[in-house]
């Protein structure tokens, strides 16, 4: 029955594309993607995944969203490199994009994520800064976005966010977007900061997702296989499901993945993760450091020991993370040379006297991109002491709200350094849009 729904909504989506109802098509095709049949132990779809992603790419191309279209065509080709419709669509898209950049004379369109009556936003806060989120769209793509003259973070698809200083009363906010053809657009808004309760704009409650990656058995005999990554990922999955706000449908496991498997899954998540959602990415496996390039890499099960092109660089993984719109993202890596994912490695413990509800609210209302790694830019032991204390911390936690930083400081760093010669690290991810706050584990 589920597989029939998969096929029916695929056809309906194609009809919408033919009628240029692109947004309706995306909705139907994503719904089709979520419906799978089951025969015995085998899960299947009547319409293959690569056909669905090609159609989703066609719908985004129809809307002029080139980055989203390209990502979906790429997923289709990662799933089936020989799928000719995706190859042809990608080639056509790149030609259309080049023409658009060359001829574009239209300024970008700017919108904010929160509804703003009378082009103004009323907030109640004691903070001196607030987080402002929005979307800048242009067929040629967005080069940068400024808020009151200060450049802020922009995702490849045009979502942007940044902090704005606010004083009591009326504050002016000017947002400037520049597209890749050099066209600019200014939009002006007003932010009224009050000290009494009024029409605030609370963040929506999101889902908690986890992507658990375990590379254990390597095809190249020059890369030794490992004993524990899959078992460690399973332990973490059970703890997240049993103790925290995760479900079978929100925990994704990839055991012994190839490089293309991870790229495909990360791009698939761009269609699934919403701006209010939270995401944990866990990787256990081999890592390697190239000194002359000052770069770290993950070595997946199809990697070749002496073929750098077969590895997944930390930078490429960070670029994939940067595409995701999640409110909070926590990367946990248990691999050698994993410290190069960081932008900063400082700790900000905040006000220890601050009430729990205030702390959680402050953390939740910011966008965080943080990481915990088992070591710095060094090797780590095969039998993971780091994993032992991570599992212990999450299993024994009795607090309703536990920040990743507090867990790291109180239960991981000293314990691991006492038992080994490695130094675990906590910090913010490089070029991924971190604003502040932290990832919060919420107990059931």
Same-domain pairing of 281 and 224 = yes
Report how far residue 33's alpha carbon sits from residue 9's, in angstroms, rounded to the nearest whole number. 9
Burial string for 151-178 (b: 16+ CB within 10 Å, else e) reads: ebbbbbbbbbbbbbebeeeebebebbbb
Kindly state whether residue 59 falls inside one of the protein's structural domains. yes
Domain of residue 230, CATH code: 3.40.50.1460
Range name among 152-161, 219-228, 370-379, 409-418 with the lowest pLDDT average: 370-379
Number of domains in the chain: 3
More confident residue, 44 or 348: 44
The torsion defined by the Cα of 412, 413, 416 and 419, in degrees rounded to 10, comes to -130
- Which of 168, 194, 220 is the C-terminal boundary of a domain? 194
In this predicted structure, what is the pLDDT of residue 413? 93
Q: How confident is the model at residue 352 (pLDDT cuts 50, 70, 90)?
A: very low
> What mean pLDDT comes out for the span 157-179?
91
Same-domain pairing of 244 and 173 = no
In this predicted structure, what is the pLDDT of residue 336? 75
Kindly state whether residue 200 falls inside one of the protein's structural domains. no
More confident residue, 417 or 348: 417
Domain of residue 8, CATH code: 1.25.40.10
Report how far residue 154's alpha carbon sits from residue 267's, in angstroms, rounded to the nearest whole number. 17
The number of beta carbons lying within 10 Å of the beta carbon of residue 63 is 16
Kindly state whether residue 380 falls inside one of the protein's structural domains. yes
Kindly state whether residue 199 falls inside one of the protein's structural domains. no
Average pLDDT of the chain is 86
The predicted-structure confidence for 405-432, as pLDDT tens digits, reads as follows: 999 999 999 999 998 888 899 999 877 7
Instruction: Tell whether the torsion through CA atoms of 141, 366, 236 and 420 is positive or negative.
Output: positive
Same-domain pairing of 164 and 250 = no
Report how far residue 143's alpha carbon sits from residue 21's, in angstroms, rounded to the nearest whole number. 28
> Measured over all CA atoms, what is the biggest interatomic distance in the chain, rounded to whole angstroms?
66
The number of beta carbons lying within 10 Å of the beta carbon of residue 122 is 16
Same-domain pairing of 99 and 114 = no
In this predicted structure, what is the pLDDT of residue 83? 97
Same-domain pairing of 23 and 118 = no
More confident residue, 296 or 356: 296
Kindly state whether residue 62 falls inside one of the protein's structural domains. yes
The predicted-structure confidence for 65-81, as pLDDT tens digits, reads as follows: 899 999 999 999 999 99
Report how far residue 104's alpha carbon sits from residue 267's, in angstroms, rounded to the nearest whole number. 28
At a CB cut-off of 8 Å and minimum separation 6, what does 199 contact? 122
Q: Residue 309 pairs with which residues in a beta bridge? A: none
Kindly state whether residue 36 falls inside one of the protein's structural domains. yes
The torsion defined by the Cα of 439, 281, 322 and 14, in degrees rounded to 10, comes to -120
149: alpha, beta or left? (left if phi > 0; alpha if psi -120 to 50)? left
Same-domain pairing of 92 and 124 = no
- Which of 194, 228, 244 is the C-terminal boundary of a domain? 194
Kindly state whether residue 383 falls inside one of the protein's structural domains. yes
Range name among 161-165, 173-177, 191-195, 321-325 with the lowest pLDDT average: 191-195
Same-domain pairing of 331 and 397 = yes
> What mean pLDDT comes out for the span 367-390?
80
Q: How confident is the model at residue 87 (pLDDT cuts 50, 70, 90)?
A: very high
Range name among 17-31, 144-158, 327-341 with the lowest pLDDT average: 327-341
Report how far residue 266's alpha carbon sits from residue 32's, in angstroms, rounded to the nearest whole number. 19
Task: Please say if the pLDDT value at position 357 is more than 60.
Answer: no
The separation between CA 56 and the C-alpha centre of its own chain, rounded to angstroms, equals: 19
Report how far residue 266's alpha carbon sits from residue 300's, in angstroms, rounded to the nearest whole number. 15
Domain of residue 114, CATH code: 2.60.40.10
Q: How confident is the model at residue 114 (pLDDT cuts 50, 70, 90)?
A: low
The number of beta carbons lying within 10 Å of the beta carbon of residue 119 is 11
- Tokens for 103? 């001829």
Report how far residue 88's alpha carbon sits from residue 134's, in angstroms, rounded to the nearest whole number. 33
Same-domain pairing of 148 and 244 = no
Q: How confident is the model at residue 381 (pLDDT cuts 50, 70, 90)?
A: low
Same-domain pairing of 216 and 173 = no
Report how far residue 363's alpha carbon sits from residue 265's, in angstroms, rounded to the nearest whole number. 28
Do 289 and 336 form a contact (C-beta atoms < 8 A)?
yes
Same-domain pairing of 244 and 335 = yes
> What mean pLDDT comes out for the span 205-220?
95
Report how far residue 126's alpha carbon sits from residue 402's, in angstroms, rounded to the nearest whole number. 23
The torsion defined by the Cα of 227, 232, 235 and 237, in degrees rounded to 10, comes to -130
Structural domain range at position 388: 208-442
Residue with tokens 């670029």: 319
Percent of the chain scoring above 90 in pLDDT: 59
- Which of 46, 77, 103 is the C-terminal boundary of a domain? 103
Same-domain pairing of 231 and 265 = yes
Report how far residue 425's alpha carbon sits from residue 437's, in angstroms, rounded to the nearest whole number. 17
Same-domain pairing of 151 and 89 = no
The separation between CA 241 and the C-alpha centre of its own chain, rounded to angstroms, equals: 20
At a CB cut-off of 8 Å and minimum separation 6, what does 370 contact? 329, 330, 331, 404, 405, 426, 427, 428, 429, 434, 438, 439
**With 0-12 CB in 10 A as exposed, 13-18 as middle and 19+ as buried, what is 361?**
middle
Kindly state whether residue 203 falls inside one of the protein's structural domains. no
């Amino acid at each position: 029955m589920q597989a029939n729904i998969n096929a029916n909504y695929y056809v309906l989506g194609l009809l919408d594309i033919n009628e240029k109802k692109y947004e309706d098509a995306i909705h139907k095709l994503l719904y089709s993607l979520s419906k799978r049949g089951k025969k015995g132990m085998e899960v299947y779809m009547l319409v293959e995944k690569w056909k669905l992603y090609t159609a989703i790419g066609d719908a985004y191309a129809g809307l002029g969203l080139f980055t989203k279209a390209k990502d979906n065509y790429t997923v289709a080709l990662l799933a089936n490199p020989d799928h000719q419709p995706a190859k042809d669509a990608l080639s056509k898209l790149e030609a259309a994009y080049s023409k658009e950049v060359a001829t574009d004379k239209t300024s970008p369109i700017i919108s904010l994520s929160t509804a703003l009556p009378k082009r103004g936003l009323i907030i109640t806060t004691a903070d001196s800064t607030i987080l402002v989120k929005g979307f800048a769209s242009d067929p040629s793509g967005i080069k940068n976005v400024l808020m009151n003259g200060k450049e802020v973070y922009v995702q490849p698809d045009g979502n942007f966010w940044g902090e704005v200083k606010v004083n009591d009363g009326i504050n002016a906010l000017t947002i400037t977007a520049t597209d890749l053809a050099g066209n600019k657009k200014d939009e002006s808004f007003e932010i009224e900061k009050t000290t009494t309760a009024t029409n605030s704009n609370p963040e929506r409650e999101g889902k908690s997702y986890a992507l658990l990656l375990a590379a254990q058995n390597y095809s190249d005999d020059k890369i030794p296989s490992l004993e524990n990554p899959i078992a460690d990922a399973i332990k973490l999955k059970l703890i997240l499901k049993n103790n925290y706000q995760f479900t079978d449908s929100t925990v994704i496991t990839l055991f012994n993945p190839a490089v293309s498997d991870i790229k495909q899954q990360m791009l698939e998540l761009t269609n699934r993760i919403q701006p209010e959602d939270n995401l944990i990415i866990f990787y256990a496996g081999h890592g390697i450091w190239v000194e002359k390039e000052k770069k770290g890499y993950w070595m997946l099960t199809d990697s070749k020991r002496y073929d750098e092109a077969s590895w997944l660089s930390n930078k490429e993984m960070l670029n994939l993370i940067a595409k995701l719109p999640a409110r909070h993202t926590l990367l946990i890596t248990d691999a050698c040379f994993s410290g190069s994912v960081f932008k900063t490695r400082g700790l900000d413990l905040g006000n220890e006297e601050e009430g729990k509800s205030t702390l959680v609210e402050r953390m939740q209302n910011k966008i965080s991109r943080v990481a915990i790694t088992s070591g710095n830019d060094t090797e780590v032991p095969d039998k993971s002491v780091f994993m032992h204390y991570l599992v212990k911390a999450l299993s024994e936690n009795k607090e309703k709200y536990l920040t990743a930083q507090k867990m790291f400081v109180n239960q991981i760093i000293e314990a691991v350094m006492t038992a080994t010669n490695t130094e675990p690290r906590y910090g913010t991810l490089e070029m991924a849009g971190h604003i502040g706050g932290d990832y919060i584990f919420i107990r059931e």
